Amino acid sequence: MRPDKEPSYTHGAIPKTAVLLVNLGTPQSPTAPAVRRYLKEFLWDPRVVEIPRAVWWCILNGIILPLRSAKSAEKYASIWTTDGSPLKVHTERQAKLLRGYLGERGHQVEVAHAMRYGQPALPDVLDKLKADGCDRILILPAYPQYSGTTTASVFDVVFRHFSRVRNVPELRLVKHYHDHEAYILALKKSIQNYWDLNGRPDKLVMSFHGVPKRTLMLGDPYHCECHKTARLLARQLQLSADDYVVTFQSRFGKAEWLQPYTAPMLQTLGKEGKRRVDVVCPGFVSDCLETLEEIAMEGKQEFLHAGGKEFHYIPCLNEDPAWITALAEITEQHLIGWPTMLTPAMQAESQAEAAVSRQQALLHGAEQ
């Protein structure tokens, strides 16, 4: 157990609260070495690839990283913006907007963001929040649907990090919000606005990131949560069962993943004579490689080459005000019992308590 980096002797004071938005992460640049570093960290996570370590080490380092890094880097280059990777840009903006929104609603909370893989690294941000005196932290993963491969992996890092800390902050975890009214409403509004401007498709494809089918058989609720999101969204949009289809994208490796797969479905729809399809990716709250390259670019070609006439990609929620409202509502519901609207009198009393506890600690000869 190492000494806490910044001991905060604040017993009796009202704890400072932080909200930490955590997303997957993305390479630092669209180059083969940067993508390799990112993939190495990501794909070595046993939550992501559940193959015995010795075998996987050889496949990952001997085949996947040498072959995939350069190819993936080219794809990243095709979606890179002047501010960096779209996933990074949107996550930063969402955290900033959430901070402003919660502030306007009178909450005195820190809002930060971190990435599960790459930068800003989750352990560094947790250290910083603790050093800033946050003794209550709400972990808010940017994944509406829970999966062991994503959400649980974020929680692993948080638990592992604090297992080495003496004075552990109070923690709350948002497990999922796949059926949260405000999230579904934000999706509905975004799609409805798109259709008001561009007309409606013959079929709406709701494409979610895939996971190995084996994880569903072993009890991962992800598949069912995706379907629940889709059902609720379809009901809000008044779609009949024939108006939409749920698919899973981004298959990795040779094993079977959740079906139906997005790319073959787009080809089938094109061949069947569907004139126009729109694709929305409700499981991604920020546009990223998987939506901008795999769907909006590759998916479009797949549909058009199969005979389809019009392909529309409906962007992710990104900085949509209805989505920021949803994030704030989800946050507020998880903050119940953690006072964040402090009157000046409460703040003054809290500061006085903190000063006394610091004096006490000094008297005991505690480290500063």
298 marked as binding residue: no
Q: Does 48 bind ligand L6N33NVT (CB under 6 A)?
A: yes
> Interacting stretch for Fe ion, rule CB under 5 A, among 89-97, 130-138, 224-232, 240-248?
224-232
Contacts of 333 (CB under 8 A, 6+ apart): none
Rounded Cα distance, 186 and 33, in Å: 37
- The reply on whether position 218 binds Fe ion by CB under 5 A is no
Sign of CA dihedral 151, 28, 100, 197: negative
- The amino acid at residue 71 is K
109-168 binders of ligand L6N33NVT (CB under 6 A): 143, 147, 149-150
Interaction pattern, residues 61-80, with ligand L6N33NVT; x per rule: CB under 6 A? -------x---x--------
| Binding residue for Fe ion, selected from 224, 341, 346, 348, defined by CB under 5 A | 224
Rounded to a whole number of angstroms, the minimum distance from the CB of residue 93 to ligand L6N33NVT is 15
Helix 181-198 vs helix 222-236: crossing angle, to nearest 10:
50
CB burial string 153-176: b at 16+ within 10 A, e below = bbbbbbeebbeebeeebeebbbeb
Minimum gap (Å) between residue 50 Cβ and ligand L6N33NVT: 9
Stretch that binds Fe ion, among 189-197, 219-227, 263-271, 357-365 (CB under 5 A): 219-227
Check binding of 211 to ligand L6N33NVT (CB under 6 A): yes
Minimal distance in Å, beta carbon 33 to ligand L6N33NVT? Answer: 14
21 binds ligand L6N33NVT (CB under 6 A): no
- Tell me the window of 11-19, 51-59, 267-275, 285-293 that interacts with ligand L6N33NVT (CB under 6 A): 285-293
3-state secondary structure 19-85: EEEEECCCCCCCCHHHHHHHHHHHHCCCCCCCCCHHHHHHHHHHHHHHHHHHHHHHHHHHHCECCEC
Among 3-11, 41-49, 159-167, 317-325, the segment contacting ligand L6N33NVT (CB under 6 A)? 41-49
Point out which span in 14-22, 215-223, 262-270, 318-326 binds Fe ion (CB under 5 A): 215-223
For residue 190, the minimal CB distance to ligand L6N33NVT (Å) is: 18
Q: According to the annotation, is 6 in a ligand binding site?
A: no
To the nearest 10°, the Cα dihedral for 113, 115, 116, 119?
-140
Rounded to 5°, the CA angle 321-146-173 comes to 75
Q: Counting contacts by CB under 6 A, is residue 24 touching ligand L6N33NVT?
A: yes
Q: Does residue 116 touch Fe ion according to CB under 5 A?
A: no
Among 8, 10, 17, 85, binds ligand L6N33NVT (CB under 6 A): 85
Out of 178, 223, 334, 358, the only residue in the binding site for Fe ion (CB under 5 A) is 223
Residue numbers of the site for Fe ion (CB under 5 A)?
A: 223-224
Residue numbers of the site for ligand L6N33NVT (CB under 6 A)?
A: 24, 26, 39, 43, 48-49, 68, 72, 85, 87, 143, 147, 149-150, 209, 211, 222, 250, 252, 283-284, 288-290
Annotated binding-site positions for Fe(2+): 209, 290
